[in-house]
Structure 1
Amino acid sequence: MTATKTKPTAADPAIITINATYGFTVSDREYSLYKRVTVDPTKAPSYKPEPGVAHPEPYEDWRTINRYYSQTTDGLRSILLYVTHRSVNDSFSGSSVTEYMAAIQAELSRLNAMISSALIPAVFD
Structure 2
Amino acid sequence: MDLGRRWYDKDPILSKAMKILETTEDKLQLKVAINLIKIIIEHNIETDTYRSVDDLLSAVEEGRCEKGNERWYDLDMTIRTAIQMLEKCPDDMQNKIAREVADLIREKVRDSYERALPEEDEVLE
Q: Which structure dedicates a bigger proportion of its chain to strand? A: 1
> TM-score scaled by structure 2?
0.33
Relative contact order, higher structure (CA 8 A, sep 6+)? 2
Q: Which structure dedicates a bigger proportion of its chain to helix? A: 2
Q: Which has the larger radius of gyration?
A: 1
